[in-house]
Structure 1
Amino acid sequence: MANIFDLVNSKEIGTYYTNNPSNSVPYLGATLFPSKKQLGLDLSWIKGANELPVALMPSAFDTKATLRDRVGFSKIETEMPFFREAMRIGEKDRQEINKAAGASNSQYIMPIIQKIYDDVNGLVQGAEVNNERMRMQLLSTGKILITANRVNLDYDYKFKAAHKETLLTTARWSDSENSTPVEDIMRWQKVIEDDTGEKPTRAICSLKTWNYLMVNKSIKLDLNPIGGQNVIVTDAMLKQYFQTKLGLSIAVYNKKYALQDGSTNQFFPDDIFTLIPEGNLGNTYYGTTPEESDLMSGNTDAQVQIVNTGVAVTTIKIPHPVNVETIVSEIAMPSFERIDSIFIATVHA
């Protein structure tokens, strides 16, 4: 008869996660910062402006940050954020597994096991959520700011001040009557092209920011000089307009994530418009977690399975009371080698 250790282990959980179709669609940031694996993870490997290592800066108390994301971590490992969460099988589920196993009937036991796998699947998905939050912070602020466990961390990628702009008064895109977004974007494209020789051909914004463009008077007049503002602009029309007018492909990214307090948040913030070039912008580097390091050295009785390039799923047998503890951990951080080819605009302050 199969016991709980046979049914719940890192290899089976890893296979379940990998084969789950819902996990096969990558986040936008994962396509811009492809995954890379390396042994350990020191900041000297993570590049920012001019290929220089990223600096870990102290964060002052009682100061207002542009964006302060609450990304959970348990400690700092080689100066990198180390994310780890764990779960145990509940007393009730354990009793149900024992009863079903005793009956030797898989149709009773598998729904219980799948529920456990789904819970762990959520932890692994949470690791990727943390990575996407960091990547989107870079694309909307040029920094990564982490607050958790009464510690503030500020990863400074040395984003150029000249590649940022905050629109004021009637220039704000929320002023649909007076703002001129096309002229703004052309100006920002020129800044990057003059500095790097590379013209940004892609952009990212939230749905709220996109809607500013949908109702903008100057854009409507350009789309229909005769009918003026009477034209009804669709998403497809506006995307084709920017592609034809500026050679610009705009991704409207409104994907959200949930926090443990039940609140939902957008990965990419409202009122920010970021211009980016073609191709990869950097990499998402995965380091060696303590669990994986123990596995490599053979100094562990736990079972460890690596998924998503560098997320460690660890299962530990607990003899009394009989249980399985599952730990999901990662050390990860994006590099940003092409940071000088990005322009970040705040279109409504």
Structure 2
Amino acid sequence: MKMKLPMNLQLFAEQSIYSMVTAPEVAAYWTEKQQTLPPFLGEELFPADKQLGTEIKWLKGETGAPKMLKPSAFGARAIARGRKEFDQVLTTLGFFKESKYIDENLRQQLNMVMASGNQLMIDTILKKIFDDITDLVYGAAVTREVARMQLLMTGKAELSGNGQKYELDYEFNPDHMGNAKVSWSDADTSDPFYDIQKGIEKIQLDTGETPTRAVTNLTTLNKIVANRKLNKTISIFGGGDIILGRQKVVEYFRNELGIDIVLYDKMYENEAGVATKFISDDKFALLPGTALGTTAFATTPEESDLMTSGKSNVSIVDTGVAITTMTEEDPVTVETKVSMLSLPTFENMEKVFILDAVAQP
């Protein structure tokens, strides 16, 4: 039985590697493959936005609290209202680029397999080639998520690799960051409900808006669930049921504080090859119900220069990620390059409270 592959890669069996591995085919393969992958939380919190140039400009500082309209007599001129105070943030977008090659040796192996007519081997090798290439596209998505989640949970972000380092510091309001009064790991004496309530109240007092969502990971939520004081409180309201699960605790926070707790335990492999959580343990962020900012993209050099040069194949995926394929004759290689100019913005950072579940010493 033939292996069923995305895009029906069997159609390429009689073609050369040069006609198969092109930017449009890689882009189409990625589009289909992406449908099978779990989404990134940051794509919802920081939706994509395409901009011109390599610098992003965005405004922070608006509280969101409404202001009364000033009274005026009939026939009088309107009273001019000054613009709300904003701080303009100007950031140069980070440029990320990586490539993979199909060299002469691999090309010869492919030709031999194709000549053999063994469809199973052909399918397997073609799928491996396209998966290897789209790993670069997925890596671009991971890079964007790392930046977004670091900003959300620490107010800063640092991305490094290949001798380059990008540091983002949007000067997050220190008054909107806090530590638990008692570390949540102390189930007997800590009070997570109190700590979270104080964070909500701080955002309400400063912005006039109430957080409606919270983001954390399972390890941190389990510390909340294990809290003795919270268990006793919920048990009293629940008719004495002392065996509490995560669902009851989440429902209690929704009913009492009006927040929906979102768990995010997705992981990635860092530069050292170590599996790392996008959201570190002991982090708990309170958010508004709206987007926090954007994932800003700019036009890459490949997109602006190469699409009209005729020297390369270029396709764009995920709003601003460029896939470029290039053929070289000596030595015979096919290079596939993935590049992007992207960084997150954080317009609604004033409406976020970052809570650390570890008490300050």
Asked if 2 retains the 8 angstrom alpha-carbon contact of 1:203 and 1:276, the reply is yes
Determine the structure 1 residue equivalent to 2:96.
83
| Shift of residue 146, structure 1, vs aligned partner | 2.7
Any idea what the Cα deviations from partners look like across 1:101-131, whole Å, max 9, x if unmatched? 4456655433222111000111100000000
- 1:272 to 2:307 alignment: no
Cα distance between partner residues in 1 of 2:100 and 2:215: 36
Asked if 1 retains the 8 angstrom alpha-carbon contact of 2:210 and 2:288, the reply is yes
1:248 alignment partner AA: I
Determine the structure 2 residue equivalent to 1:347.
357
Asked if 2 retains the 8 angstrom alpha-carbon contact of 1:294 and 1:300, the reply is no
Cα distance between partner residues in 1 of 2:242 and 2:106: 59
- 1:52 to 2:87 alignment: yes
State the TM-score, normalizing by the size of structure 1. 0.86
Determine the structure 1 residue equivalent to 2:140.
127
Asked if 2 retains the 8 angstrom alpha-carbon contact of 1:273 and 1:344, the reply is yes
Q: 2:339 aligns with which of 329, 338, 342?
A: 329
| Shift of residue 3, structure 1, vs aligned partner | 1.7
Give secondary structure in 2 for the equivalent of 1:136: helix
Any idea what the Cα deviations from partners look like across 1:47-72, whole Å, max 9, x if unmatched? 4444534356xxxxxxxxxxxxxxxx
Any idea what the Cα deviations from partners look like across 1:159-218, whole Å, max 9, x if unmatched? 1111111235xx221111111111221111111111111100100112111111010011
Determine the structure 1 residue equivalent to 2:267.
256
> Structure 1 residues 84, 23: CA separation in 2 closer, same or farther (over 3 Å shift)?
farther
Cα distance between partner residues in 2 of 1:344 and 1:165: 6
Q: 2:301 aligns with which of 290, 298, 308?
A: 290
State the TM-score, normalizing by the size of structure 2. 0.83
Cα distance between partner residues in 1 of 2:211 and 2:94: 31
Determine the structure 2 residue equivalent to 1:192.
203
1:301 alignment partner AA: K
Cα distance between partner residues in 2 of 1:270 and 1:125: 24
Cα distance between partner residues in 1 of 2:31 and 2:150: 27
Determine the structure 2 residue equivalent to 1:304.
314
> Structure 1 residues 95, 229: CA separation in 2 closer, same or farther (over 3 Å shift)?
farther
Determine the structure 2 residue equivalent to 1:33.
46
Give secondary structure in 1 for the equivalent of 2:355: strand
- 1:205 to 2:216 alignment: yes
1:41 alignment partner AA: T
- The 10-residue stretch of structure 1 (83-92 or 25-34) with the greater mean CA deviation from structure 2: 83-92
Determine the structure 1 residue equivalent to 2:130.
117
Cα distance between partner residues in 1 of 2:135 and 2:88: 32
Asked if 2 retains the 8 angstrom alpha-carbon contact of 1:221 and 1:227, the reply is no
- 1:182 to 2:193 alignment: yes
- The 10-residue stretch of structure 1 (255-264 or 81-90) with the greater mean CA deviation from structure 2: 255-264
> Structure 1 residues 198, 227: CA separation in 2 closer, same or farther (over 3 Å shift)?
closer
Give me the CA root mean square deviation.
2.3
Asked if 2 retains the 8 angstrom alpha-carbon contact of 1:47 and 1:335, the reply is no
Cα distance between partner residues in 1 of 2:293 and 2:267: 23
Cα distance between partner residues in 1 of 2:237 and 2:93: 57
Structure 2: gaps (5+ residues): 1-13, 63-85
- 1:145 to 2:134 alignment: no
| Shift of residue 287, structure 1, vs aligned partner | 0.9
| Shift of residue 260, structure 1, vs aligned partner | 4.7
| Shift of residue 21, structure 1, vs aligned partner | 4.9
- The 10-residue stretch of structure 1 (84-93 or 203-212) with the greater mean CA deviation from structure 2: 84-93
Give secondary structure in 1 for the equivalent of 2:265: coil
| Shift of residue 41, structure 1, vs aligned partner | 2.8
> Structure 1 residues 150, 5: CA separation in 2 closer, same or farther (over 3 Å shift)?
closer
Structure 1: gaps (5+ residues): 57-78
- 1:320 to 2:355 alignment: no
Greater gyration radius: 2
What is the percentage of aligned positions where both structures have the same residue? Answer: 38
| Shift of residue 230, structure 1, vs aligned partner | 7.4
> Structure 1 residues 327, 229: CA separation in 2 closer, same or farther (over 3 Å shift)?
farther
Cα distance between partner residues in 1 of 2:19 and 2:309: 21
Asked if 2 retains the 8 angstrom alpha-carbon contact of 1:281 and 1:337, the reply is yes
